[in-house]
Structures are given as C-alpha cells and as structure tokens.
Amino acid sequence: MMQVVSDIPSQVRTFIGSNRLTAESEIADIFHAVRRIPYGSGGGRNVRDVVEQNKGSCSGKHMLLRDVLRLLGHDAAVETVRGDFTSRLVGEKSMGAALRQMCEDGNVTDFHQYVVWAGPEGDVKLDATWSDGPIQHGVLGNMDWNGAGDTNLALIPEKVLARVEDVPAYKKRLLEGLHQDVQERRLTFLSLLTDWVANIGKRGDEE
C-alpha cells in the first residue's frame, strides 16, 4: 500500500490529540474513535469537514481513519467496492415509512469505502460507517470489534474496485457513470438514511 503523510490535514492531528491517540494505541481504540462519529451523507466528504462537523459520509470517515492510522505509523488505504447499500439493512420500526420501504425493496446502487489496514497477520478490512445509534437500532455494525479479524462491511460487495488516494474524485467519476434514475434513487435513499440517523441521535441514542 502507498503510505503518504505529507499532505494530511492539520485537523487529523487535532482529532488524534482530542481522542488521546498515540502510536502505542490499540488498533481497536483508533478504529472506534472514528467509528463513533455519526454517519451522514450530507456531512463531511473530506477529512477537514468530518472533524469539524463531527459527522461524515462513508468516504469522509474512512479517509479520516486512513490518515489517522498513517500518522500513527500504520500502513492503510481506502478501498472502494460497488454494491447495494440496502444489502445489509432491514426496515426498522424507528425508520420512516419511505426509508423502511426502500430498505425492503433494495436496489440502491452505491460505491462504498472502507479501510484496508496492514495488520501484523495480513490485511484487515475496517468499516467504520456506523456509530452506536444505528447499531442499537438493529443495523449490522462493529460496536464490539476488539481488533481481531475483519469488521462487518456496511454492504455486501458485488465488485471490489480500487484503492486510490484521491477518493472524492474517484467516487465522483464512478457516480457520474450511473444512469440518472439510479443516481436519483441513491440520493433519495441517502437523504432518508441521513435524516433517520440524525433523528435517533436527537433522541439520545448517539454518543
């Protein structure tokens, strides 16, 4: 994997300091510091915004996790896969009717990111998408991950694509290649999903 630290934003160092992370921190502690940031498609899609807003998309959160790991001396990269965002989601009673129906109907094409960390025993997939609130409402996540083995991915990959440094530009190109109807369905779903995560957070389910 390519390890680049020279262009990492200053906000990453701020995040590391505020979470009291060091090069000696356990990988699980580093992972959960990022995972606990609430998901939101309208949140940060770059590292600076994720830290400043304390909310981020899957791409933004995983770029942050990658950069934190690199600054702490680990080898890490962001990997992109294509899949159906609903493939590991079920309609929960706390969801609005429209979101619940989309989860049941499926067919929400997206390009999802996670981090591949070069662990002592080989590559480990780290998916920090879901904070505690959605997991407590039935979403398959990684709240109890202890550092052993791959984490649960937020969707079932249909195709593994690439590991790139400029994730936003790469994802933009991929999304532009989707049919307009597919893009619109994805955006509708992400908007509903983000609202749901925010609403359960307001009820005190998020940390």
* Domain residue ranges of the chain, discontinuous segments joined by +: 10-202
44/141: higher pLDDT: 141
- At 123 the three-state DSSP class reads strand
CATH of domain 10-202: 3.10.620
Give, as one character, the DSSP assignment of residue 36: T
CA distance 14 to 68: 10
In the chain, the percentage of residues whose pLDDT exceeds 90 is 88
* pLDDT of 147 higher than 90: yes
**pLDDT given for residue 6 in this prediction:** 59
What's the Cα-to-Cα distance from 139 to each of 45, 76, 80, 171, 203, rounded to whole Å? 22, 26, 21, 24, 17
Mean pLDDT, range 129-158, rounded to an integer: 96
* pLDDT of 206 higher than 70: no
CA distance 133 to 207: 8
69/200: higher pLDDT: 69
